Amino acid sequence: MKKIKYLFLLILILLTACGKDKIDVKAKDTLIVAQGADARTLDSQKAIDTPSVRVYQQLYNLLVKKDENMEIVPDLAESWEIVDLKTTIFHLRKGVKFHNGEILTAEDVKFTLDRMQEQPTVSFLIGEIEKVEVIDENTVKVITKKGFGPLLKHLSHPGAAILNKKAVLEAGDAYGQHPIGTGPYKFVDWQSGDRITLKAFEDYYEGKAKIENIVIRSIPEGTNRTIALETGEVDIVYDVEPVDIDKIKENKKLNFLMEASLGNSYLGINTTKAPFNDVRVRQAMAYTINVKDIIEVAYKNTAVPANSPIGPKIPGYNKDAKMYEFNREKAKNLLAEAGYPNGFKTSIWVNDNIIRKDIATILQDQFKAIGIEASIETLEWGAYIDRTARGEHDMFILGWVTVTGDGDYGLYPLFHTSAHGRPGNRAFYSNPKVDELLDIARTSIDQNEREEAYKEVQKIVQEEVPVITMVYTNQNVGMQKYVTNFKLHPTGFFDLYNIEFAEIK
């Protein structure tokens, strides 16, 4: 019945749309983008989830950023010099304006990095920084406790966006609803759960954006996002559901882009709760999962099996880390050894995401075959992130994108003891050897030493499986053909600054 209603709605909208005049792209001044969830906050230091970053990335700049090849390039820092093992000096662009008219200074950079140290969500990014010193108005010195191999890559993370000291202090706790950056767009309005409106910043240091307004809409249901694209209600859709990909490819008015991402999809397991505190139980579940079913049913063959939390594009990836092949008998034996020959009851949490719901249903069926009865609970995105950070779950399905392109970000937040909860370690996993290896890799500036440490970490966590990394995912976007200059980025965070509307010939 639900499918019939959707079909009727689509036919009705399409018939209505047929009577509309052709879009005059020269007169069009608003880009409408749809994604699957609303931002949690626009304070870059309090949320690094994908829906939030995709919005606030348009509002802020970083000291340094990553190009399409994941190479570090200048942003607000036009140059930098590595003085010694612990010292890096950044030279800021002069005359850069914030949206409130304030001029960027080294004091804003110091304030930003100092404030990051106090925020649980992002403190792990710069925890190795000992102090930040202002040399003059446009020069800032960053001093680390020891060596810090991934410093520049961590400063290119969206959570390290440079804030305006005055704006943050004036807004206080309300800053996340009144963000001020130096980016190409400035904040206008937020209708919670529906849309966020941005406007081109006249004084952007690289020049005003071509498109005057951006509206980023929250449309949780993937089918509805696709319908909105087909009818011209939106211009760009992020994360097209696999079942809708062919519809977009076959539509002559639309374009579809897809590339391998730096992300994965994993089943997180609360290792502090029985029976999950027994590694044999976690291994049994890993052997029970037939990833082929997940790839075919949930992803429609748009993902590939994973053997590690970080993928082949990340330096230090361990191709020899353990791949769990489907083996139900081995799973049953491990459960029996752990004292659960008849299985147990548990739950799997998901947010309102059709792929994760499909995966949960598949896992529910597969676990049932070895006696594990798993109920499925669906939570709203904000509650999902908050409650898994507090450890209220048994199991959950989530993804992780190594957005810095460095093994530290792909492993440290998920597995270091200091990162329990909100920074990323929602499995509440703790292993002193893993902590030691991650600390070595983080403080070393010898890339070979770092990569060897990461390979060993992957070997350990694949044996102990605090998370079961199921697949490496692709990123995809559907858009109107008149949208030009949009480019995918390996991080899955997309820059809207260069987009233009063009006549379709």
Of all residues in the chain, the percent with pLDDT exceeding 70 is 95
pLDDT band at 445 (very low <50, low <70, confident <90, very high): confident
Element (H, E) at 35: strand 30-35
Give the span between the Cα atoms of 471 and 50, in whole angstroms: 18
**Mean pLDDT (whole number) for 284-292:** 98
Q: Is the pLDDT of residue 10 over 70?
A: no
pLDDT band at 217 (very low <50, low <70, confident <90, very high): very high
- What pLDDT is recorded for position 24? 75
Q: 204-221: b or e for each residue (b if 16 or more CB lie within 10 Å)? A: bbeeebbbebbbbbbbbe
Average per-residue pLDDT for the chain: 93
| Residue reference for tokens 């330096």 | 315
pLDDT band at 441 (very low <50, low <70, confident <90, very high): very high
Higher pLDDT, 163 or 85: 163
- Per-residue pLDDT tens digits for 66-89: 998 889 999 999 999 999 989 999
Nearest residue to 185 via CA among 42, 380, 323, 313: 42
Nearest residue to 479 via CA among 500, 493, 463, 462: 500
- Per-residue pLDDT tens digits for 150-161: 999 999 999 999
Nearest residue to 63 via CA among 125, 19, 9: 125
CB 264 within 8 A of CB 470: yes
pTM: 0.84
pLDDT band at 180 (very low <50, low <70, confident <90, very high): very high
pLDDT band at 485 (very low <50, low <70, confident <90, very high): very high
CB 462 within 8 A of CB 478: no
